Structure 1
Amino acid sequence: MPLAYIDRAIGSRSVEEVWTLLTEKLRTYGFDRLLYGFTRNMTTFGLGGPGDFMILSTHTPEYTKRFIDDRLYFDAPMFNWALRNTGACSWSWVERNFDALSEREREVVAFNRQMGVTAGYTISFHDQKVRNRAGLGLTAKPGLTQADVDALWQRCGHEIHVMCQVTHLVFTTLPYTPPGRALTARQREVLEWVGDGKTTQDISAIMGISAATIEKHLRLAREALDVETTAQAVLKASFQNQLYAVQG
């Protein structure tokens, strides 16, 4: 059991810190490219807005531009497997089910082969909240075949899975905001008081600033979080662990 890793992961203070820890550890097993995605907005009809996804990657910018920004992942076979299942799955699943893939899925498989993304494992994480969905793709370094990866997983798969699961759970407790959507300290404070049930007048008295300034902070917070109402802003900021969090 990788107790030393778990101890360091749960003591991490930022998403970046624990992500670096995971990437360095998995590189020792032969996985040199990782892609993690997390949404709290999954419904029957979709995954929510792409701007609200938590995406972490060690792939090249060339790969992520096509796969993420151009949304090839929607037709990636292992992505769709992760939406329907939880646990860990060998990428040999793609070859075994290749005849049943759609034309678009086969195009994504061809793109991955072109980019050297050919052997690996996918983990889809279990979550108690039905709207949460997270997955991690582990790509093996060049020179390793899928047979090599499957043999490695037979030896070390359990401990790798445990480390990835702990990392995911730590991610869910740490503040994370998509680029350009971080709240200022004042915006956070105002939303926290709203979350505590305080009125604009209450907050004005507590913080010693005018009601107009309170309204300005709330408006800017709504804009930063891309929501229409203050109630939605409080909920979304809470989901992102931006509220009531120790700063620094």
Structure 2
Amino acid sequence: MPYSGMAMQLARIVETVGSADELAVAMAAISVELGFQYFALSHHVDVATAGDAAIRLHNYPRRWADYYDENALGVSDPVHRASHVTSIGFSWSQIAAMIPLTQADHRILALGRAQGIGDGFTVPAHVPGEARGSCSFASEAGRSLPHVMLPMAQLAGNFAFEAARRLWMGRGGLLSRPGPALTDRQRDCVLWVARGKGDWEISRILGISEETVARHIKQACERYGVNKRTLLVIRTLFDGTLTFSDIFRRRYAPFRA
């Protein structure tokens, strides 16, 4: 199929599939069209805990899928971890250059190959405030990746995960729960906490009392349901309230002694 026709087919997935079963059928067909044998759409979570709230759709061999879920590999899978350090698709043969691999990681990859899963291509899918996810395409063990089709696989992964998000949106938990909103002053205080400043320093920077700083941070913690500042910063980074660019920006506001 010409690239333009395949692109149109991928776009229609987002618009027309009405159920997880329909999406699975479409993904199986697209995988073959791209030159792969397997696909997986998933949130990077322990599916046993998340249940139906987590996106989980694949055609991997049953034995491998059962082992994967029983051992909660959705959290520690090296493929998933590698997807957290890039914004574009990558082949699994690149993983060792992307993240440090442990002996357990090598064992997981070897077990997958033993179950017939060879090299693959994973497209990250990260939306602020939601669990991280990805769309992966994989070849059978012994087959090489269809490199000429990887740009189209990138597009397919983006469209497919968005289709899954639409279908799973009503299930709650990982997709539909809005994050807490901080006031501007609460966000300012949390930003300076993330930059390593204490309450007294923040009070001098923002021109407010130390007690007011402590109150803003306490209220921000309450909104996120956490009791430690470290967790507060992590949660604000996770949902996009703060970004790493905010924290590590070279030019800070002047410190007033």
Bucket of the pairwise TM-score, normalised by the shorter protein: 0.5 to 0.7
- What fraction of aligned residue pairs are identical, expressed as a percent? 13
- In 2, the alpha carbon distance for the partners of 1:32 and 1:177 equals 30
- In 2, the alpha carbon distance for the partners of 1:120 and 1:105 equals 15
- Tell me the residue number matched to 1:171: 164
Deviation at 1:167, TM superposition (A): 1.7
Specify which of 13, 21, 36 is matched with residue 18 of structure 2.
13
Task: Give the CA RMSD over aligned residues.
Answer: 2.9
Aligned partners of 2:120 and 2:137 also within 8 Å: yes
Deviation at 1:61, TM superposition (A): 1.3
Match of 1:174, SS state, is helix
| Correspondence list, 1:204-223, <5 A | none
Match of 1:173, SS state, is helix
- In 1, the alpha carbon distance for the partners of 2:31 and 2:61 equals 17
Aligned partners of 1:34 and 1:139 also within 8 Å: yes
Deviation at 1:142, TM superposition (A): 4.2
Indicate how the Cα distance of structure 1 residues 131 and 95 shifts in structure 2: closer, same or farther if over 3 A, else same. Answer: closer
1:172 corresponds to which letter in structure 2?
R
Aligned partners of 2:85 and 2:98 also within 8 Å: no
Aligned partners of 2:135 and 2:161 also within 8 Å: no
- Tell me the residue number matched to 1:85: 86
- In 2, the alpha carbon distance for the partners of 1:73 and 1:12 equals 25
What TM-score do you get using the length of structure 2 for normalisation? 0.56
Deviation at 1:86, TM superposition (A): 2.6
- Tell me the residue number matched to 2:9: 4
Deviation at 1:15, TM superposition (A): 2.3
Matched, 1:158 2:151: yes
Unmatched 5+ residue regions in structure 1?
Answer: 182-248
- Tell me the residue number matched to 2:59: 58
- In 1, the alpha carbon distance for the partners of 2:156 and 2:86 equals 19
What TM-score do you get using the length of structure 1 for normalisation? 0.58
- In 2, the alpha carbon distance for the partners of 1:35 and 1:60 equals 11
Aligned partners of 1:9 and 1:21 also within 8 Å: no
- In 1, the alpha carbon distance for the partners of 2:20 and 2:85 equals 26
Specify which of 30, 36, 39 is matched with residue 41 of structure 2.
36
| Correspondence list, 1:78-227, <5 A | 78-94=79-95, 96=97, 100-127=100-127, 129-145=128-144, 149=145, 152-153=146-147, 155-175=148-168
Count of residue pairs the alignment pairs up: 166
- In 2, the alpha carbon distance for the partners of 1:96 and 1:38 equals 23
Indicate how the Cα distance of structure 1 residues 111 and 32 shifts in structure 2: closer, same or farther if over 3 A, else same. Answer: same
Deviation at 1:92, TM superposition (A): 1.1
1:93 corresponds to which letter in structure 2?
Q
1:17 corresponds to which letter in structure 2?
E
Aligned partners of 2:43 and 2:55 also within 8 Å: yes
